[in-house]
Amino acid sequence: MKKLILTLSIVIITLIAIIIAGNNSYSNWEIKNNNKTEISWVQFEWTNEIISGKYFEKTSINVPCKIEGYKTIFTFQLDIGAEYTGIYENTFRSLDILNQISENKLKKLKSPLQFWNTDKFINNFDLQFGKYSVLNKIGFVYENHGEKLIKVNKNDTIHLGTIGRDLFKNKVLIIDYPNERFAISDKIPEEYNRNLTDIEIDPTGRIILPMKIRNQNYKITFDTGSSIFPIITEAKNISKFSSLPDIDTITISSWGKKHDVTGKLITDTFKIAGQKYCNVKVYANHSGLGIDDLTDGMTGNALYWDKTILIDFKNKKMGIY
């Protein structure tokens, strides 16, 4: 009986290790920087959209990129709310119409030890932006996602994927919002090594900021994929932030699913990651889509449009300048 229990324990531990190894393989990035200066900036582009009949600026951050084997310029959204950096399957499969040859092919992520796993991956995923070249032998694929291309003109830019938080594991990410640029560093540059606040980084790399309002402490996820909402929370949590009447309603889409969010004004002074704010809108998400119920809400780019921010993923620090 003891031998049976021991054997079963070994099998279970082995399976868990295989699953963890498979998941972590997507995050094994090799980052090369051809610029030898300490800060190597990459320019990004804001997108603008009409949502619910209203025009919104700065709805997402797109990064112009190149992929080995293609002459076309692609864009990837800088979205550290996403766990993995990867390509959109539908769009990538459409690239055959460009008549370009590449060794980057979609394959099934399957092995005898992971017979149940039918996830797809792109082999030797070599993404280039600015002076950076980032390589992953097993690139993540967002299955059945993205636009299916019918025709591509010579000078078209194609939106192909997402730059997620896995790319910044154990790195320092700096986002200079006013100058529309970001940088990746192995350590905090000297000019930014001040006014740092302790933050949480969960096991998947999510950034969780401390928030204090009316002497109550809350946890707020930081997500660059959330651009137009200073703070958004589940409807059940909205009273933590404001009890005032709704003053705004917006219909948004979360990964293809539309739903309404309603906004109230926070008139109290509050702090997020040590910075004071007042008269900020908070939105209630009535569907729960995109909101993690393990935290009290989420903030994104809107609070920092006139700031430079620094996230030290390794040492769990944030600076706002």
Model confidence pLDDT, tens digit, residues 258-278: 778 899 999 999 999 999 999
φ, ψ dihedrals at 93, nearest 5°: -65, -25
Q: How far apart are CA 195 and CA 186, in angstroms?
A: 19
Q: How far apart are CA 136 and CA 194, in angstroms?
A: 33
Domain at 35-168: CATH architecture: Beta Barrel (2.40)
Query: Could you tell me which of 143, 147, 101 has the C-alpha nearest to residue 122?
Result: 143
Contact 226/254 with Cβ under 8 angstroms? no
Per-residue model confidence (pLDDT) at position 205: 92
Contact 123/205 with Cβ under 8 angstroms? no
Per-residue model confidence (pLDDT) at position 110: 47
Torsion angle of alpha carbons 281, 286, 287, 289, nearest 10°?
20
Contact 62/116 with Cβ under 8 angstroms? no
Question: Do the domains 35-168 and 192-320 sit in the same CATH topology, yes or no?
Answer: yes
- The CATH number assigned to the domain with range 192-320 reads 2.40.70.10
Q: Spell out the per-residue pLDDT of the chain, length 321, in tens.
A: 555 555 555 544 444 444 444 445 677 899 998 776 779 999 999 999 888 788 989 999 999 999 887 888 999 999 999 999 999 999 988 887 665 544 456 655 444 444 444 567 788 889 999 999 999 988 899 998 999 888 877 788 999 999 999 999 999 999 999 999 999 999 999 999 999 999 999 999 999 999 999 999 999 999 999 888 999 999 899 999 999 999 988 887 766 677 788 999 999 999 999 999 999 999 998 876 656 778 999 999 999 999 999 999 999 999 999
Where do we find the tokens 């031998």? Answer: 3
Per-residue model confidence (pLDDT) at position 99: 54
Task: Kindly give, in sequence order, each residue whose CB lies less than 8 Å from that of residue 200, ignoring residues fewer than 6 positions away.
Answer: 207, 208, 209, 219, 316
Structure tokens at 217: 């402490």
**For the chain, domain boundaries:** 35-168, 192-320
Per-residue pLDDT tens digits for 192-223: 999 999 999 999 999 999 999 999 999 999 99
